[in-house]
């Protein structure tokens, strides 16, 4: 059986990942693909339970490594229960955030050694690597303005300093440079429909 493709969307707060993930799902379905839209942290029952601990603005403050281990526990459950079975059935999986977010948020921004993060991921990943990672690039200032307009209590990371979010942006761009075989940077400061059209062209050129 032909495996499905795995597409991840990454970027800072307010970049529009969730909106664009929905557009991607609609596009792929129009091309006759079976599609699963999921997210991190979350995407499986166990991972959604851990999500409540991690993203609520009233969440307990762990040190960065402990935080990464919680994200990793959620990711492991997500991979085993949702992502891997879907891909093996030939379903295309779209994920709003994945492992690159951990490399950036706990690695670049909070200084957990990248080799430690990578080693742990390699151990739990079941060999899952995205076929395409879309990095939605937006200035932290604009992204936070957009993010604050959402009526959402899951905003712990949005409360971090501007410097923190600048590090997040820098980290994602560094990942794109390090992994050009799967990463494409998309200008997320354009109009929503322009971003959608750009992403569709990228998917057509990379995965079809």
- Helix, strand, coil: what percent of the chain each, to 5? 55, 15, 30
pLDDT at 55: 82
Q: How many domains does the chain have?
A: 1
Q: What is the pLDDT along the chain (208 residues), one digit of tens a residue?
A: 679 999 999 999 999 999 999 999 999 999 999 999 999 999 999 999 999 888 875 656 789 999 999 999 999 999 999 999 999 999 999 999 999 999 999 999 999 999 999 999 999 999 999 999 999 999 999 988 888 776 555 566 767 788 999 999 999 999 999 999 999 999 999 999 999 999 999 999 999 9
pLDDT at 61: 79
pTM flag (> 0.85):
yes
C-alpha span between 53 and 65 (Å, rounded):
15
The position carrying tokens 């400061």 is 189
Q: Report yes or no on 1 lying in a domain.
A: no
Residue 33 is part of a domain; what is its CATH number?
3.40.50.300
* Phi, psi (deg, nearest 5) at residue 9: -115, 130
Q: Report yes or no on 115 lying in a domain.
A: yes
Q: Which residues is 132 bridged to in the sheet?
A: 7
Q: Of 96, 105, 102, which Cα lies nearest the Cα of 165?
A: 105
Cβ–Cβ < 8 Å for 175, 104: yes
Task: Give the structural domain span for 83.
Answer: 6-207
C-alpha span between 139 and 165 (Å, rounded):
9
């Amino acid at each position: 059986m032909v495996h499905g493709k795995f597409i991840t969307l990454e970027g800072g707060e307010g970049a529009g990942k969730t909106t664009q993930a929905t557009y991607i799902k609609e596009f792929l379905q129009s091309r006759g693909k079976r599609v699963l839209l999921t997210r991190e942290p979350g995407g499986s029952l166990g991972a959604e339970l851990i999500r409540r601990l991690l993203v609520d603005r009233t969440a307990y403050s762990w040190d960065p490594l402990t935080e990464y281990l919680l994200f990793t526990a959620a990711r492991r459950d997500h991979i085993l229960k949702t992502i891997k079975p879907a891909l093996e059935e030939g379903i295309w999986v779209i994920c709003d955030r994945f492992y690159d977010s951990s490399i950036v948020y706990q690695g670049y921004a909070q200084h957990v050694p990248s080799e430690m993060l990578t080693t742990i991921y390699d151990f739990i990943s079941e060999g899952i690597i995205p076929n395409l990672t879309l990095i939605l690039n937006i200035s932290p200032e604009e992204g936070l303005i957009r993010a604050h307009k959402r009526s959402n209590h899951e905003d712990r990371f949005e409360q971090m300093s501007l410097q923190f979010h600048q590090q997040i942006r820098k980290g994602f761009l560094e990942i794109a440079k390090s992994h050009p075989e799967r990463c494409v940077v998309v200008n997320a400061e354009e109009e929503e429909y322009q971003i959608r059209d750009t992403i569709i062209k990228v998917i057509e050129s990379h995965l079809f």
